[in-house]
Structure 1
Amino acid sequence: MAATVTRPALMPDGTDREFRVFVHELLAFADRLTSVRAGFAARIGLPGAAYTLLIALARLEAEAPGIAALAAHLHVSTAFVTTEMARLQRLGFVQKRPHPSDGRRVVLSVTPAGRAALARLAPVQAPVNDALFAALDADDFRRLATLLPRMVADGDAALALIEREDAA
């Protein structure tokens, strides 16, 4: 079988075997991470994506983020954020108001109901997250936290390559 990578850094033994194992382990972890997110979300009656937006907004709220800022933070489209925010608004978890100095923008905030829902999760989140990332010590965590944004950007570049191939 042809190698699935060509970069020597990804082929320490001259083959793509370790790389393939790495990708499969990464996919397995991603599945578990998605399942944990779904578990948290279900506890407050949300789909996983809406939960991600709600918790991200709660963490960024002091910065008065709008749709574009939240989309950039989560590496998703503004259309996706708009759709999910409408859902969260209907559920009473999020409030939208006009930006005080730019009428084209909105400022998003978590409502008291949204805060209460997230507070109900706190006793579950800490032990679950501790277990999910138990393999990481402080140095591992910092290194991974530094690498992941670069890997997301690399993922965007890889998707662009696939899209170019599909268009050809």
Structure 2
Amino acid sequence: MFRNGKVVLLLLLAVVLVGCNQKVEGLTDEGFVAAREAFEANAKKTNEAAGDIHFYKPTTMEVDKQSTSQTIVLTKRNDSFYLTVNPNEKKNSRVYYDLLMTDEPENLVGAQTFAKDEVFGFVAVIQKSEKLVELIASVGGVKVETVTDEKNIDSHLGKMMQIARSVQQDEK
């Protein structure tokens, strides 16, 4: 009898773990769809500037006062989004994607690439802990990252791609 209880407990635990993983994967798939739509749409019109970087800032986000010319910090409730721009990379650059894939994080839930009109982009979801994920949206030398609750995957990835896709820099 005790042995059957162990088997039932192990099966129950396996079902719970698989169910949780499917939840994250489902949210990731929805987030990838939102990111693809944002990537393929025309870039949002810029409505914010930090130094010589102009970008679209969703109305639900605020620019943090601690932003620098290298990293712009956007906040939405308890989440911080880090917008990094490498001025040496063009819109078709794969540098951030190649770095991510070279490191191949063992907790990579998924990644998807996009290409349109000589522009390269990607999104990635990395499991950080039981409920937290790192989200990355990138277009060329522009990258937007955050660590957030996994329930935000589908809502955040589309907005992050809109921001990354919109970035324009003044030529020096």
- Structure having the higher strand fraction is 2
Judge same fold: TM > 0.5, yes or no: no
Q: TM-score, normalised by structure 2?
A: 0.29
Which entry has the higher C-alpha Rg, 1 or 2? 1
Query: Which structure exhibits the higher relative contact order, with contacts defined as CA atoms closer than 8 Å and separated by 6 or more residues?
Result: 2
